[in-house]
Amino acid sequence: MSEGQLDRRAAVAALLRDPGDLLVVTGLGGTTYDAGAAGDRPENFYLWGAMGAAAMVGLGLALARPARRVLVLTGDGEMLMGLGALATIAAQALPNLAVAVLDNGRFGETGAQLSHTARGTDLAAVARGCGWGRACTVAAAGDLEDLRLRLRNEPLFAVVRIAPEEAPRVLPPRDGALLHHRFRAALLGP
């Protein structure tokens, strides 16, 4: 599989533009840095050090808050670690949950070794095989706006092919208690 060409930071900024009350769960590393760079907000729940858990946290959140739209934003390494989540989420078929995987074909947090997606694993095909009715791969900047709208309105699994280059880190809050309390306040309201 060839490497993506999309700039990761720009792709995430495009996908998170005008978030409204969208609840965003980010995975370890790059997706957290990029969501923070796009605009830290109480409705972002950053999973520091919980590799493999983002999709299942998103599922739990979507089950608990069916009236709210939930977007899981994670990387290919984390999604590969939690492949079982794809079948569980598909079985639930929740209309308020979407998953976007930023795929650079690398394990970015451990030294940029080639991931399985660089060696032929097609995560969108895996999602379809697990029962996702809608799964796609996006590799062109011109397709990001359409994907942004689909992620806000469909139960969708999307792979976004990004370039392997690293952007400077933007560190959103890392205090677990702070993140928990502000996210809970954003869920429950004033």
Pick 177 or 74 by higher pLDDT.
74
Total length of the chain: 190
Domain ranges of the chain: 8-188
**Cα atoms found within 13 Å of the Cα of residue 173, Cβ hemisphere only:** 16
Residues 101-160: tens digit of each pLDDT: 998 765 556 555 666 554 667 999 999 999 999 999 999 999 999 999 999 999 999 999
CB atoms within 10 A of CB 20: 7
Third-level CATH fold of 8-188: Rossmann fold (3.40.50)
Residue 1 has pLDDT above 60, yes or no: no
> What's the rounded mean pLDDT across residues 21-45?
93
Could you tell me the pLDDT band of residue 190, with boundaries at 50, 70 and 90? low
Q: Percentage of the chain with pLDDT > 90?
A: 59
Highest mean pLDDT range out of 80-89, 138-147, 156-165? 138-147
